[in-house]
A and B are shown apart, each in its own frame.
Chain A
Amino acid sequence: GQNIDQPTEMTATEGAIVQINCTYQTSGFNGLFWYQQHAGEAPTFLSYNVLDGLEEKGRFSSFLSRSKGYSYLLLKELQMKDSASYLCAVRDSNYQLIWGAGTKLIIKP
């Protein structure tokens, strides 16, 4: 079967750095996405990785290792507004997105 694993919940301090991990086992691989979802709102796109390595976009970076079936999302200089769920999704060989359950990130002052 296809599986995406992420921690259920993480807590971090305002101004700090946090890394959210995602491991996957899917039928084929055609890219990995990270989405942010605030409570009661729709998911919004953060990043996309299809090749190994690090993609940096402002305070957010995403890393991919296809051989390890592993990705992480790195958030720097955390702000209170970063409190949200972070969803990892992998596009499989049929170009369908397989979603993780999301990691709820709690930011404390």
Chain B
Amino acid sequence: DTGVSQNPRHKITKRGQNVTFRCDPISEHNRLYWYRQTLGQGPEFLTYFQNEAQLEKSRLLSDRFSAERPKGSFSTLEIQRTEQGDSAMYLCASSLDGTGGPPGELFFGEGSRLTVL
């Protein structure tokens, strides 16, 4: 396993278009997180899944954002009717509950950078 992978790595779109990002977590990791990060800021929590169940969604997340993890493996994050303020790096991370290491250690993907023109 080569870690968390995300695609596309870069996406440029026009305002109003829809975009979808995909995340493949480390296999056997049961938790999957989506974060958004802008320059000079830490990651901002968007949502997370425990297996296929979406357990929490940030109150800051508008209805234009939706995420799925249909089979408890890969996940998609869709942004509808994109706005310029959506321009950011979208990070996916996964973790394994009950691991012998530090609980909640997140392994991040390389991110998907979105630019909305």
Chain A residues in the interface with B (C-beta under 8 A):
4, 8, 30-31, 33, 41-45, 48, 87, 89, 91, 94-97, 99-102, 104
CA distance A102 to B108 in the complex (A): 16
Q: Is the CB of B105 within 8 A of A89?
A: no
Set of chain B residues within 8 Å of A96, measured between Cβ atoms: 45, 56
- B96-112 interface (Cβ within 8 A of A): 102-111
Tell me the chain B residues, 69-113 only, with Cβ under 8 Å from chain A.
91, 102-111
Tell me whether B102 and A33 are in contact (CB under 8 A): yes
**Chain B interface residue number, banded:** 10 to 19
Contacts of B104 in A (CB 8 A): 30-31, 33, 91, 95, 97
Task: Decide if B2 is an interface residue (CB 8 Å cutoff).
Answer: no
Q: Given A99-B42, A99-B43, A101-B42, does the pair A48, B108 have CB atoms closer than 8 Å? A: no
State whether A89 touches B42 (Cβ < 8 A): yes
The A/B interface has a contact count, at CB < 8 Å, of 51
Q: Could you tell me the distance between the alpha carbons of A30 and B103 in the complex, rounded to whole angstroms?
A: 10
Across-interface contacts of B4 in A (CB, < 8 A):
42
- Which chain B positions have C-beta within 8 A of A48? 102, 105
Cβ of B44 under 8 Å from chain A: yes
A45 touches B42 (CB 8 A): no
Q: For A45, what are the chain B residues with a Cβ–Cβ distance below 8 Å?
A: 102, 105-107
> Which of A8, A31, A43, A100 sits near B108, CB closer than 8 Å?
A43
Given contacts A31-B102, A31-B103, A95-B104, contact A42 B110 (CB under 8 A): yes
